[in-house]
Amino acid sequence: MVHRFSLVLNREVNDKEKVALKEASGAGIAFVDDTLPTNADVAVTRIEFEDEVTATLAEAIEAGFETVKVIPDLSVPGLSVPAQPATAESGEGEEAVNVTADATP
């Protein structure tokens, strides 16, 4: 199963940092220019994750936070989890979740 979510970082990341983040992640990741959820004047990077490796969404998100830790001054002020596909066990999808509190790894 593929787990999809995104982490909004506290600032923009440069090309060297993007390489380090890709190397640290076991998931497929893409970088998107964005603004801070609580202040549209602050430019940041959002990382879109597609994790096919971990067993659960919670583990995938935790792995995402661990990935961000490879860059010492990065933090995660926002997490977005779109509705996930239905699972065979439950037969139902999960609700979308957006978190904009300080979720510093």
Q: Which domains does the chain have, with CATH numbers?
A: 3-99 (3.30.70)
H/E element, 50: strand 39-51
Q: Which amino acid is at 48?
A: E
Q: How confident is the model at residue 37 (pLDDT cuts 50, 70, 90)?
A: confident
For residues 74 and 37, which has the higher predicted lDDT (pLDDT)? 74
Q: Name the β-bridge partners of 44.
A: 34
The reported pTM is: 0.80
Judged against a pLDDT cut of 50, whether residue 91 lies above it is answered with no
Q: How confident is the model at residue 104 (pLDDT cuts 50, 70, 90)?
A: very low
Residue 29: how many CB atoms within 10 A of its CB? 19
Give dist(CA 9, CA 24) in Å, integer: 16
For residues 60 and 103, which has the higher predicted lDDT (pLDDT)? 60
Residue 23: how many CB atoms within 10 A of its CB? 9
pLDDT value at position 53? 92
